[in-house]
C-alpha cells in the first residue's frame, strides 16, 4: 500500500535561506519579525544575519559546521539561525529553559559542535561543557565592521540545515539531521497549498527544541510574511490569546495539547479570535478529538484545522488532513491525511512487503523529506534508515515504527507503535488500544498500559490509572473493560497513580512506569 | 489576604481539600491544563494576568501570592 504525494519540481539548489534573501531583496521594508514591541524589516534582518554569517565563515565555521543556538525567542535568535544557514552551516536548537545538567548532556551528544550562541545566563549553565560559547551580545556589538552582503557558499539541497533531538527507543537523546531539500520541500508545500505569503502573520507558541518550532519559525520568512515571537519561555495561554487578537495573527503551528489549551481559553472566556484564524497546523501526539469538537463545530468558526503527522527524522511533517472532513466514529482515530509534495507513505509488513488495502502495517516514509540520519549515530535506530527499490530505482526510506492503515477515503490513519505491540497468550496486542478503552471509562482521567514478563516468561499487561476522583478498584474497572475489550486485552493488574510520569517531551514515560513495577 | 484567595483557587482547580502555602504545584499533581485554569481564575477573580513563566518560577502559594501582591491585584 503506497500513498503518493503530488510531484512538484524544486529549484536546482533548494536552499531555504535563499528564499528569505529573495524576499529581503524584493520587499526590504516588509516586517520580518515582531517581538517584545520591536519590529525588524527583511532588509535589517538580512544585514544582521549576513554579518553573523561572515563572522562564522571567517572563523572557519562554514559549510558542514554545526552551530548551537541556545536563546529565548528573540530577533537575536532568528539572526543566529539565518546567519548559521547563510554560512553554509547547520544549527542545533537548545531550549534555554532546560536544567544545566540536561543542557550539558545534550551538548555532548552533538559530534563536532563548533560553538554555541547563548545569553549570559545560559552561558554560565553550560560553561563546563567543552564547547566554545559566543555571547549573544556579539551578534550586535562586535560585528559592525563585517559585510552585509549575502555570502556565497557552495551549499546544496543535500547539506544539513538543522538537527534536533529525539528521544529514541533506547531513551538516550539522539540528534537527527534534516537536509535543506527536505525543509525547502516542506515549506514550499505549506506555502503553495495553503497560500501563506506576504501580509500573513504567524505566532510561534511551541518550545524551541521541537522540530515543529523550526518549521513555525521559518515558514513566514520563507513566504515573505511576518513572524511574531512571544517573550515567554513556557506556553502562556493568556499571553498567546492576547497576541492572537492584538497582532492580527493568521496562522499557528502547535502540538495537539497546545491547541486544547487555546480552545479551552476561548471556550471559557468567550471570543472568536482562534475561530477566525486561517490555519492551525497541529499534531505530534494522538488527537483527543473530543477536546476540540464542540469548539470546531461552533457557528462562525472559519479556522481550517490541519491535523498533521510526521517524524523529526523525515523533516517534521509527512502528511496533512483537513479535520473538517472528519466524522468521528465511536472507536475511531482521526486520520492524518495525504502525503506532502514529493513524499510517499508506505505501509509494510515485517518482511518489508506492502500490506493490503485497509490492513495495518508499519508506516514508512520516502521522498524529499528523508533526513540525513542521526549525527554520529551507528546505533540500532540508524537501521531505520534503509533503501527500497521503487519503479526500478533505489530510494531511501525511513521506518517510523508507527502502526497505520489507509482508510476507505484514502487517508492515512496512525494508531500506536509497532514495537509497543506485545504477544499475550499468543494474541498480538497494542497497549495503546487498551489505553484508549480505559480512557473512555467513567472515573478514569488518564491511563497508561505497559507489558511486563512474569517469572515464567509470559507477558502480562499492567494498567496505570490516574483516577478522576477516588481511587479505582480492580474489581470495578475489570468488568467494565470486559464490556468493550476481549479478555486477552484486559490487563492483569490495575494500579492507581496520582499522575503519569512524563518524558522531557511531555509524553508518558514508559520506562519510568516499567521501573515502578520492579519488586511488585 | 491574597494568599488565602490563591489557596482557594489552587484547592478548587487541583481538587484537593488542603494545600499548605509551601507545597509545590507540580508535586501536588499540577500540569499545564490546571495551570491554564489557575491563570484564568487569577484574571477573573483577582483581576491580574500572571505570566506562566512566573508560575514556573513561583511554584508555591506563598511565592506566587507575593508576586501577585507586587503586581497590585485586587485584595478583596
What are the tens digits of pLDDT across the range A194-213? Answer: 888 888 999 999 999 999 99
If interface means Cβ-Cβ distance under 8 Å, which residues of chain B face chain A? Answer: 15, 29, 31-33, 36-37, 39-40, 43, 49-53, 56
Q: Are strands A319-322 and A304-309 parallel, antiparallel or unpaired?
A: antiparallel
CB within 8 Å: B53 and A236: yes
Domain with B48, as residue range(s), is 2-71
In this predicted complex, what is the ipTM?
0.89
Other CB atoms within 10 Å distance of the CB of residue B47: 11
Q: Would you say residue A169 has pLDDT above 50?
A: no
Q: Would you say residue A482 has pLDDT above 90?
A: no
Q: Would you say residue A172 has pLDDT above 80?
A: no
Model confidence, pTM: 0.84
How far is residue A177's CA from residue A92's CA, in Å, rounded to a whole number?
A: 9
The residue of chain B nearest to residue A499, with distances taken between CA atoms, is B29
The residue of chain B nearest to residue A498, with distances taken between CA atoms, is B29
Q: Where in chain A is the domain with CATH 3.30.300.30?
A: 420-517
B interface test, pick of A206, A237, A267, A507 with most B CB neighbours within 10 Å: A237
DSSP A354: B
Nearest Cα neighbor of A218 from A10, A64, A19 is A19
Lowest-pLDDT range of A292-296, A490-494, B29-33, B71-75: B71-75
CB within 8 Å: A237 and B39: yes
Name which of A239, A261, A269 is nearest B32 (Cβ-Cβ). A261
Residue B50: list chain A partners with CB under 8 A: 238
Q: Is A237 on the interface with B (CB under 8 A)?
A: yes
CB within 8 Å: B29 and A233: no
> Which CATH code fits A14-403?
3.40.50.12780
Q: Is A508 on the interface with B (CB under 8 A)?
A: no
B interface test, pick of A96, A234, A269, A500 with most B CB neighbours within 10 Å: A234
Q: Is A496 exposed, middle or buried, given 0-12, 13-18 or 19+ CB atoms closer than 10 A? A: middle
Average pLDDT, chain A: 90
Strand order in the sheet with A279-283: A38-41, A31-35, A226-229, A201-204, A251-255, A279-283, A304-309, A319-322, A338-339
- Does residue B40 lie in a domain region? yes
Q: Is A239 on the interface with B (CB under 8 A)?
A: yes
Average pLDDT over residues B26-49: 91
**Phi (first) and psi of residue B72, to 5 degrees:** 75, 50
Cross-strand partners of A228: A34, A203
> What band does B33 get if pLDDT is binned at 50, 70 and 90?
confident
Q: Would you say residue A506 has pLDDT above 70?
A: no
Residue pair B50/B66 in contact by the 8 Å Cβ criterion: no
Residue B43: list chain A partners with CB under 8 A: 238
Å between A299 CA and nearest CA of chain B = 24
Q: Is A377 exposed, middle or buried, given 0-12, 13-18 or 19+ CB atoms closer than 10 A? A: middle
**Contact partners, residue B39, CB within 8 Å, separation at least 6:** A236, A237, A238, B49, B50, B52, B55
Q: Is A73 on the interface with B (CB under 8 A)?
A: no
Average pLDDT over residues A151-175: 84
Strands (E), A36-188: 38-41, 66-70, 90-93, 113-118, 132-135, 160-166, 174-179
Nearest Cα neighbor of B36 from A157, A383, A43, A234 is A234
Name which of B15, B33, B53 is nearest A234 (Cβ-Cβ). B53
Q: Would you say residue B44 has pLDDT above 90?
A: yes
Residue pair A238/A271 in contact by the 8 Å Cβ criterion: no
Average pLDDT over residues A177-190: 98
CATH of region A420-517, choose from 3.40.50.300, 1.20.1050.10, 3.30.300.30, 3.10.450.50: 3.30.300.30
How far is residue A401's CA from residue A80's CA, in Å, rounded to a whole number?
A: 34
Å between A10 CA and nearest CA of chain B = 41
Q: Where in chain A is the domain with CATH 3.40.50.12780?
A: 14-403
CB within 8 Å: A264 and B33: yes
Q: Would you say residue B20 has pLDDT above 70?
A: yes
The residue of chain B nearest to residue A237, with distances taken between CA atoms, is B36
- Does residue B46 lie in a domain region? yes
Residue B33: list chain A partners with CB under 8 A: 260-261, 264
Residue A232: list chain B partners with CB under 8 A: 51-53
Q: What is the pLDDT of residues A220-254, one digit of tens each?
A: 999 999 999 999 999 999 999 999 999 999 999 99
**Contact partners, residue A331, CB within 8 Å, separation at least 6:** A436
How far is residue A22's CA from residue A518's CA, in Å, rounded to a whole number?
A: 59
Q: State the residue for C-alpha cell 534508515.
A: A385
Total domain count, chain B: 1
DSSP A487: G
**Phi (first) and psi of residue A373, to 5 degrees:** 90, -170
Q: Would you say residue B24 has pLDDT above 90?
A: yes
Residue pair A173/A152 in contact by the 8 Å Cβ criterion: no
> What band does A297 get if pLDDT is binned at 50, 70 and 90?
very high
CB within 8 Å: A232 and B43: no
Lowest-pLDDT range of A75-79, A276-280, A324-328: A324-328
Q: State the residue for C-alpha cell 535506530.
A: A381
Residue pair A478/A441 in contact by the 8 Å Cβ criterion: no
Residue pair A348/A355 in contact by the 8 Å Cβ criterion: yes
Average pLDDT over residues A424-438: 80
Name which of A232, A242, A264 is nearest B36 (Cβ-Cβ). A264
Q: State the residue for C-alpha cell 526500478.
A: A392
CATH of the domain at B65: 1.10.1200.10
Amino acid at each position: 500500500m503506497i500513498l503518493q504525494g503530488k510531484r512538484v519540481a524544486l529549484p536546482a539548489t533548494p536552499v531555504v535561506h535563499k528564499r528569505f534573501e529573495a524576499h529581503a531583496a524584493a520587499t526590504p521594508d516588509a516586517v520580518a519579525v515582531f517581538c517584545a514591541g520591536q519590529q525588524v524589516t527583511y532588509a535589517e534582518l538580512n544585514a544582521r544575519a549576513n554579518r553573523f554569517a561572515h563572522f562564522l565563515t571567517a572563523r572557519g565555521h562554514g559549510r558542514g559546521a554545526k552551530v548551537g543556538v541556545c536563546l529565548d525567542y528573540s530577533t537575536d535568535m532568528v539572526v543566529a539561525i539565518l546567519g548559521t544557514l547563510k554560512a553554509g552551516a547547520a544549527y542545533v536548537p537548545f531550549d534555554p529553559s532546560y536544567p544545566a545538567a540536561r543542557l550539558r548532556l545534550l551538548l555532548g551528544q552533538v559530534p563536532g559542535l563548533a560553538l554555541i550562541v547563548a545569553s549570559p545566563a545560559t552561558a554560565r549553565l553550560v560553561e563546563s561543557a567543552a564547547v566554545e560559547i559566543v555571547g549573544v551580545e556579539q551578534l550586535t556589538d562586535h560585528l559592525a565592521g563585517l559585510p552585509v552582503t549575502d555570502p556565497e557558499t557552495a551549499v546544496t539541497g543535500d547539506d544539513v540545515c538543522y538537527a534536533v533531538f529525539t528521544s529514541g527507543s533506547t531513551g538516550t537523546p539522539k540528534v537527527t539531521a534534516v537536509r535543506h531539500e527536505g525543509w525547502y520541500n516542506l515549506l514550499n508545500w505549506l506555502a503553495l497549498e495553503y497560500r501563506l505569503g506576504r501580509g500573513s502573520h504567524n505566532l510561534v507558541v511551541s518550545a524551541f527544541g521541537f522540530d515543529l518550532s523550526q518549521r513555525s519559525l521559518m515558514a513566514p520568512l520563507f513566504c515573505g510574511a511576518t513572524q511574531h515571537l512571544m517573550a515567554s519561555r513556557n506556553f502562556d495561554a493568556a499571553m498567546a490569546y492576547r497576541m492572537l487578537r492584538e497582532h492580527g495573527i493568521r496562522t499557528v503551528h502547535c502540538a495537539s495539547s497546545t491547541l486544547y489549551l487555546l480552545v479551552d481559553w476561548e471556550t471559557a472566556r468567550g471570543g472568536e479570535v482562534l475561530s477566525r484564524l486561517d490555519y492551525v497546523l497541529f499534531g505530534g501526539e494522538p488527537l483527543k478529538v473530543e477536546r476540540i469538537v464542540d469548539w470546531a463545530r461552533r457557528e462562525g468558526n472559519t479556522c481550517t484545522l490541519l491535523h498533521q503527522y510526521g517524524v523529526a527524522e523525515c523533516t517534521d511533517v509527512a502528511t496533512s488532513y483537513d479535520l473538517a472532513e472528519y466524522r468521528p466514529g465511536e472507536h475511531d482515530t482521526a486520520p492524518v491525511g495525504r502525503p506532502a509534495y514529493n513524499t510517499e507513505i508506505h505501509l509494510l509488513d515485517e518482511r518489508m512487503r506492502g500490506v493490503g488495502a485497509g490492513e495495518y502495517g508499519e508506516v514508512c516514509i520516502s521522498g524529499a523529506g528523508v533526513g540525513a540520519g542521526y549525527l554520529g549515530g551507528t546505533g540500532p535506530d540508524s537501521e531505520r534508515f534503509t533503501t527500497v527499490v521503487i519503479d526500478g530505482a533505489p530510494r531511501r526510506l525511513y521506518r517510523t515504527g508507527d502502526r497505520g492503515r489507509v482508510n476507505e477515503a484514502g487517508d492515512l490513519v496512525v494508531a500506536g507503535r509497532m514495537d509497543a505491540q506485545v504477544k499475550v497468550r499468543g494474541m498480538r496486542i497494542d497497549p495503546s488500544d487498551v489505553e484508549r478503552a480505559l480512557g473512555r471509562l467513567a472515573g478514569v482521567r488518564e491511563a497508561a498500559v505497559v507489558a511486563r514478563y512474569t517469572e515464567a516468561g509470559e507477558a502480562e499487561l499492567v494498567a496505570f490509572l490516574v483516577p478522576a476522583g477516588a481511587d479505582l478498584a480492580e474489581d470495578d474497572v475489570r468488568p467494565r473493560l470486559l464490556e468493550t475489550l476481549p479478555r486477552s486485552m484486559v490487563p492483569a493488574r490495575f494500579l492507581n497513580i496520582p499522575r503519569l510520569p512524563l518524558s522531557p517531551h511531555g509524553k508518558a514515560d514508559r520506562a519510568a512506569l516499567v521501573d515502578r513495577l520492579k519488586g511488585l | 489576604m491574597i494568599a488565602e484567595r490563591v489557596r482557594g483557587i489552587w484547592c478548587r482547580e487541583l481538587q484537593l481539600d488542603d494545600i499548605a502555602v509551601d507545597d509545590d504545584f507540580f508535586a501536588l499533581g499540577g500540569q499545564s491544563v490546571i495551570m491554564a485554569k489557575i491563570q484564568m481564575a487569577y484574571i477573573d477573580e483577582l483581576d491580574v494576568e500572571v505570566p506562566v513563566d512566573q508560575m514556573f518560577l513561583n511554584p508555591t502559594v506563598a511565592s506566587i501570592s507575593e508576586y501577585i501582591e507586587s503586581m497590585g491585584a485586587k485584595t478583596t
